[in-house]
Structure 1
Amino acid sequence: MELRELFFIVWKKKWLIVLITLISIIASAIISFFILPSEYETYTTLMVGKSKEYSGMNQGIEYNDVLLNKQLVSTYGELAKSRAVGQKVIEDLDLDMSHGAFSEKVNVSLVNDTEIIKIVVSHKDPEETAIIANKTAEVFMEEVKEKMKIDNVQVIDKALVPEGPVSPKPMLNIAIAAVLGIMISVFIIFILEYLDNTIKTPNDVEKHLGLPVIGMIPKTADK
């Protein structure tokens, strides 16, 4: 089929594209604004330094200690996500959630080639989100001091109450729904056209029957 034919096939059923696209947009807006729960996100960053007992030593040992801390950053990350930290935060804040649910809400990311750990928390309540993030950082610092004997853990950025939700994103969802609506409607149009084997034009006679058209009877208005 030529490009022009394809265009006219779509154009004559443009009402179907408009209808399906509008339905997709309206459904996406309703789900995004009224059904999906809002999720808020905040973070706190920590820097794990060397033990204070080494503060008086020379620069060479200090540099080696920094390198060692960088290598241990992944260990700190696993400790921050451990059951010991999670259960302590849940108990201290009296949270109504399991450790599994807590782990889904708390994500520990490691800043490459640094001694910085970023603790990101997502939750449905903005104020509680900041409280959980700061409490997780506090418990993590206690665990590092107790289990790894490192007493130089500092908070760089304290978690703040998020101003707005990070999800859902209604405008993005609506835009995606509009694109999907157009794609689905065009696909349906081509399926309907493929299944329609009726003869409508002289070209259809030649194409389907293999017979030349020798004449046409014009349609006239009834009198």
Structure 2
Amino acid sequence: MEETIDLRELFKIIKRKIWMIVLIGLIFGIVSGVVSVFFITPMYQSSTTLIVNKENSNSETQLSNSDDINYVQKLAYTYSEIITSRAVLGKTISQLGLDISYKKLASCVTVTNITNTQIIKVDVLYKDPKTAREICDTIPAVFDKEIQRIMKVSGVEVIDKAIVSSSPVKPNKIKNVILASAFGVLLGICIAIVQSLMDTKIKTSSDIKEHLDIPVLGIIPKQK
């Protein structure tokens, strides 16, 4: 006979196994907290924003029509790729004397083009807040020289300089503990349901009627 559980029975199972469900949730939450505090390296983020220039014959930035604006916006996407190139990040590593490979630094740098603007946002995620700011400030300076050498055009101007982050952005300890605890509770509920489905013992008169389909003539009371 196929085993099925209605909503009422599900609540009964959860109520009977509530101690186990809560315990599993607590264990997962505690383990997540310990891992977040002692085993995951905190990461700090610094950000800077750049504006792309279009050089005219007078070496001044003028965006007089939609063609100029579209041109500069497309140029911003090209610049974004160059920012994370070996030419830029390699010189950034050299100038700051960082003990890190180009690939590792590239994985720490995120470049975003602000939609429908000529603005580029550069985010640097690093384990040391001061180094994160130094990288974030050095990249635009190196990039400005490289872009003029590579493309023979005017460079970029910094809108907002990077600042030292006062607190890490990763790991988010509270979020990790909440998610791990919720997962533990769901896991506990699943275990309780599986245990109930696998338990074939006859415990009550209703179990006899349901599973054996025979009438109950009488019940012997449990002796105290």
**TM > 0.5 fold call:** yes
User: Is residue 11 of structure 2 the alignment partner of residue 7 of structure 1?
Assistant: yes
1:173-197 Cα distance to aligned partner (Å, 9 max, x none): 1111111111000000011111111
1:168 maps to which of 156, 168, 171: 171
1:71 maps to which of 58, 71, 74: 74
Q: Which residue number in structure 1 is paired with residue 220 of structure 2?
A: 217
User: Is residue 50 of structure 2 the alignment partner of residue 29 of structure 1?
Assistant: no
**Matched-pair contact (CA < 8 Å) for 2:51–2:157:** yes
Q: Report deviation, 1:94.
A: 1.3
Relative to structure 1, the CA distance from residue 66 to residue 213 in structure 2 (aligned partners, 3 Å threshold; closer, same or farther) is same
**Mapping of residues 1-223 of structure 1, within 5 Å:** 1-51=5-55, 53-55=57-59, 60=64, 64-221=67-224
- Alignment RMSD (CA, Å): 1.8
1:126-150 Cα distance to aligned partner (Å, 9 max, x none): 0000001111111111111111222
Distance in 1 separating the partners of 2:117 and 2:63: 18
Q: Report deviation, 1:53.
A: 3.4
User: What is the letter of the counterpart of residue 55 of structure 2?
Assistant: S
1:83-130 Cα distance to aligned partner (Å, 9 max, x none): 111111111111111111011001111111111111110000000000
Runs of 4+ in 1 over 6 A off after TM superposition: 56-59
- Identity, % of aligned pairs? 38
**Matched-pair contact (CA < 8 Å) for 2:145–2:155:** no
Structure 2 length normalisation: TM-score? 0.92
> Which secondary structure does the structure 2 equivalent of 1:53 belong to?
coil
**Matched-pair contact (CA < 8 Å) for 1:29–1:174:** yes
User: What is the letter of the counterpart of residue 171 of structure 1?
Assistant: I
Distance in 2 separating the partners of 1:181 and 1:99: 39
Distance in 1 separating the partners of 2:166 and 2:57: 41
Unaligned runs of 5+ in 2: none
Distance in 2 separating the partners of 1:212 and 1:67: 83
Structure 1 length normalisation: TM-score? 0.92
Relative to structure 1, the CA distance from residue 177 to residue 91 in structure 2 (aligned partners, 3 Å threshold; closer, same or farther) is same
1:41-62 Cα distance to aligned partner (Å, 9 max, x none): 01111111122633579875x7
1:47-82 Cα distance to aligned partner (Å, 9 max, x none): 11122633579875x764333111211101011111
Relative to structure 1, the CA distance from residue 15 to residue 219 in structure 2 (aligned partners, 3 Å threshold; closer, same or farther) is same
> Which secondary structure does the structure 1 equivalent of 2:121 belong to?
strand
